[in-house]
Amino acid sequence: MRKRSRTVTLEDVRFVYENYANMSASQIAEKLGISKFQVNKIVNELRKRGIEIPKKAGKKINVYDAFVEELRKKQKS
């Protein structure tokens, strides 16, 4: 049987609004103790009501490219 999530509060909505651009839905969900689906639901409901919440910036950083870039910077130094 699936674990039931708790009800979303006003503080949860405020936290999602303030942190969605800088944190993943999974990180927010873990911090608040709700599911990532509830986090996405909050975002969608706010957008439907005309609240501007920035979309996530493109693709995630490729860790291999980031590592190679670090090495190149170190070699130039």
* φ, ψ of residue 42 in degrees (nearest 5): -60, -50
Q: What is the CATH number of the domain that holds 50?
A: 1.10.10
pTM of the model: 0.67
| 62 located within any domain | yes
| 4 located within any domain | no
pLDDT of residue 22: 86
pLDDT of residue 40: 94
| 1 located within any domain | no
| 27 located within any domain | yes
Residue range(s) defining the domain that contains residue 14: 10-76
Give residue 54's pLDDT band: very low, low, confident or very high (50, 70, 90): confident
Give Cβ neighbours of residue 25 (< 8 Å, ≥ 6 apart).
36, 39, 40, 43
Q: Please give the tally of structural domains in the chain.
A: 1
> Is 46:53 a contact under the CB 8 Å cutoff?
yes
Mean per-residue pLDDT for 42-52?
95
Q: How far apart are CA 44 and CA 62, in angstroms?
A: 27
